[in-house]
Each structure stands twice: as C-alpha cells, then as structure tokens.
Structure 1
C-alpha cells in the first residue's frame, strides 16, 4: 500500500512538471520587398557607400538569404 502511494506521488509530480513546459514561440519573419533595390545596394551584402544601418543590424542578428529569384525577365 505504501509503495502504491509513493508511485502515485511520483506520477503526480511528474505530470505537474511536465504540463508546465513552455511552448516554443514561432520565428519572426521580416520580408523586405523593394522595386528597384539591387543585391549589392545594402550594407549587409557588401555596399560601402550607401549606409543602411537598420537593415544591417537586422541582417547581423538574423539570417541572410542569397538565393532568391524573380519570376520576371
């Protein structure tokens, strides 16, 4: 009887702590679309003359994509 009570307590504690796990948050995605912005016109991609500090900070703390294609000629 005492063994059953200990097992019940262990299972109850396990269920309580297992239900308190925080779910992961989905990633934030920022997609910047500009009409006449070329690949090399942002500092994150090597531009040294034009300053883009905010976009550069986003790129430094995030992810850079280099394989994106347009569907128009």
Structure 2
C-alpha cells in the first residue's frame, strides 16, 4: 500500500506520491504554491488518483473562488 499523508492545510488524506509536497495534498499544493494539481476522478466523494476528499480550508477555498473569476 502506498504511503498516505494528512494534509497540513485542509486535513484530507492523500497519497504522498501524488503530491509535489510532503505535507500538502495536491489540491492545496496547487492552490498555495502553484504546483500541478491532480486531475481528480471522484468515486464516492474521494479522488481515486490521490485520495483527496474534496475539502478545502477557508483560506484555500477563498483562493479557489478568486481563481475562478
């Protein structure tokens, strides 16, 4: 089984091999530092590729909404 981490920013579980940062899920690493994000494929609310559960912190949600403009 692959090494699973807990994101320091949003608290989601994630596959460490799917992220460029050891302590952040791919979603948070992308929003906070501009790293490539996972091309999420959700199955039952969890990404089958990186295990991100779709949760964002208040801060990353704000960044996400600003990026959508």
The TM-score range, normalised by the shorter chain, is under 0.3
Larger relative helix fraction: 1
Larger relative strand fraction: 2
**Greater RCO, CA 8 A, separation 6+:** 2
In the superposition, the TM-score normalised over structure 2's length comes to: 0.23
- Computing the radius of gyration from Cα coordinates, the structure with the larger value is 1
In the superposition, the TM-score normalised over structure 1's length comes to: 0.23
